[in-house]
Amino acid sequence: MSGSERIELLIDPGTWGTMDEDMVSVDSIEFHSEEEPYKDRIDSYKKKTGLTEAVQTGIGQLNGISIAIGIMDFQFMGGSMGSVVGEKITRLIKYATNRSIPLIIVCASGGARMQEGSLSLMQMAKISSASYDYQSNKKLFYVAILTSPTTGGVTASFGMLGDIIIAEPNAYIAFAGKRVIEQTLNKTRPDGSQEVQILNRGIHSMTTFNLPSFFVPLVGLVFPALAMASLSLHVQKNKIV
């Protein structure tokens, strides 16, 4: 399922507004070890997907509740996280912080984007710092949704920071992939050992089971939590005790 399809299923019709669509990736470290230059790969994925990057961020409503939402798209370069993805998500979190609204991030990623080197790894700390201010300092509410796959730097940062973490059925959730683990440890890992049904102790809050349409039952799962968060914010703003 594409990111645009997930937005259509999750957000109330007519309420979606995009943010930072004009941000584009550049070849900051002049990465030329591939047959196709990095810039050309970005351009080809733009044409293929109709997206400008591997994440769409914006504001919408879920059952009438205003939310800030970021939705990653694995179809765009494996959902890899480069400087633009990190900056868009950071700006989204800061926007939600300034306006005291709930935050949802739908994760789908192969990890940090190797074509940007250490710049891509820096995004993990940048996003986590913004998330800390949003959650710990401002006491606001963040829902992380893990779709398949969610791996690498996304798993090691904002993917696992949600107040509630919801996983897609059969989602592949990992830091290092099966092949990397086997090559590093020189041991065979069983098939399915990193699927969400196996990781059912402390990794995520709940798994949805209505296939194939994961995002339809999601509204019913997330809405009560968002309603409680909105009520809490209303109480704080009006100093009701």
Task: Specify the pTM.
Answer: 0.84
Residues 69-118 pLDDT 10s? 999 999 999 999 999 999 999 999 999 999 999 999 999 999 999 999 99
pLDDT in tens, 129-158: 999 999 999 989 899 999 999 999 999 999
CA distance 36 to 115: 11
SS3 of 26-81: the string is: CCCCCCCCCCCCHHHHHHHHHHHHCCCCCEEEEEEEECCEEEEEEEECCCCHHHCE
Class of domain 3-238: alpha beta
φ, ψ of residue 212 to 5 degrees: the values are -85, -5
Which are the contacts of 136, defined by CB distance < 8 A and separation ≥ 6?
none
